[in-house]
Structure 1
Amino acid sequence: MGFGQGQEQVIAAIQKEANDNSQLEQLAHELMDVIGPRLVGTPQMKAANDWAVATYAKWGIEAKNEAWGQWKGWKRGITHIDMLSPRLVSLKGMQLAWSPSTSKKG
């Protein structure tokens, strides 16, 4: 048996597994709908990392979380902006990821 013949069997087995036993929909639901966006340094990122390690453990795969770089925790809060002059107008706005906090003096 040549190398190409063995490859065809492996490819066929992978295709069968993907078509008959796919977990893509359930995995995507957990990450996108349950955990949600995962910006580095957010509680959602930690939740996603912990979920991945637990999922691998269920599959019998050893995994662990490891530190990668230094990141400040970050969570988007409530934003309210009013222009007071020359007339009162409420403005729309949002914080940019990892933007620095406002100083105590404002």
Structure 2
Amino acid sequence: MSLDTATVRRVASLARIRVEEDELPRLQSELNGILGWIEQLQAVNTDGVEPMAGGGTQALRMRADEVTDGGIQDKVLANAPDRAGAFFAVPKVVE
């Protein structure tokens, strides 16, 4: 598949990217190069190859839906600029 300058101009418009007229040929060749790589990847025989992640037939194990406090209060508050006991301390705001 090869893109012409009108298609490149339309893609840039859809992506809300301003492309100057003198940049169109360079962008056209880059997009055509990317599409060439995609065509090469589509030509690879992947019969019998299991997917590495996602899209497989395996389902994730479901965990019990339990309400907890997380048990990591110290980790959460470790980077707090100011603490008041087990809570974040914030400046008082009065309007």
Which has the larger share of helix? Answer: 1
Q: Point out which structure has higher relative CO (alpha carbons under 8 A, 6+ apart).
A: 2
The TM-score normalised by the length of structure 1 is 0.26
Higher Rg? 2
